[in-house]
Amino acid sequence: MISNTINEILNEQINKEFYSGYLYLSMSAHLKELGLNGFASWTRLQAKEEVEHGLKIFDYLIDCNSFVTLKQIRTPEFEFNGISSIFNHIYEHEKCITRSIMEIAKKAEEECDRTTLNFIDWFIAEQIEEEEAVKNIIKRLDMFGDDKVALYLMDQELARRGKE
Ligand code: FEO
């Protein structure tokens, strides 16, 4: 049912989702070292979500009687030049993931693969949400600049993710 092209691109996407998990987790460790526990907790939760995204594709391939090929996950790379640099990096990364998801949709459309098109819709909606959430954090970081009290309050707010 799933073509080799779709199989390959979905397996690549599993790798990208797991890489995203690695990236968020390494950021989380760094933020924790800095004492920004709320930001660290937010990125750690995001890492968990990314692994779930990868597993969702993993399960889809198995359900479709297709093959799963797990490839090496590269070492996450990011430069820390302040908290804004981390969230700008995340935003660029998520835009890249969105393009990758859109490419899957495009390929599935070319092949009239309705099942994969239907499956990938969830990821398209998820990407809109993720980009929006990160953009909102960046906007506020830009607005507060170097105000340490505002940063502290934001850290407290982000710590509440997943606890409400
Ligand atoms: Fe699974 Fe953040 O994309």
The per-residue pLDDT for range 23-61, each reduced to its tens digit, is: 999 999 999 999 999 999 999 999 999 999 999 999 999
Ligand 1 contact, 50 CB (< 6 A): yes
Distance CA 158, CA 137 (A): 9
Distance CA 163, CA 115 (A): 35
Ligand 1 contact, 17 CB (< 6 A): yes
Using the mean position of ligand 1's atoms as its centre, give its distance from the Cα of residue 127 in Å.
6
Structure tokens at 88: 């700008």
Ligand 1 contact, 90 CB (< 6 A): no
Is residue 70 assigned to a domain? yes
Using the mean position of ligand 1's atoms as its centre, give its distance from the Cα of residue 94 in Å.
6
Q: Would you say residue 164 has pLDDT above 90?
A: no
What are the backbone dihedrals phi and psi of residue 79, each rounded to the nearest 5 degrees, phi first?
Answer: -105, 135
Q: Would you say residue 110 has pLDDT above 90?
A: yes
CATH label of the domain that carries residue 9: 1.20.1260.10
Is residue 87 assigned to a domain? yes
Ligand 1 contact, 94 CB (< 6 A): yes
Q: Which ligand 1 atom lies nearest to the CA of residue 93? A: 2
Is residue 164 assigned to a domain? no
Q: Considering the chain, what is the average pLDDT of its residues?
A: 96
Distance CA 68, CA 84 (A): 36
- Domain count of the chain? 1
Q: What is the residue range of 57's domain?
A: 4-159
Q: Would you say residue 163 has pLDDT above 90?
A: no
pLDDT, position 80: 82
Range in 67-81, 101-115, 116-130 with the lowest mean pLDDT? 67-81
Q: What is the DSSP letter of 75?
A: P
Q: What is the pTM of this model?
A: 0.95
pLDDT, position 79: 84
pLDDT, position 162: 84
Q: Would you say residue 145 has pLDDT above 80?
A: no
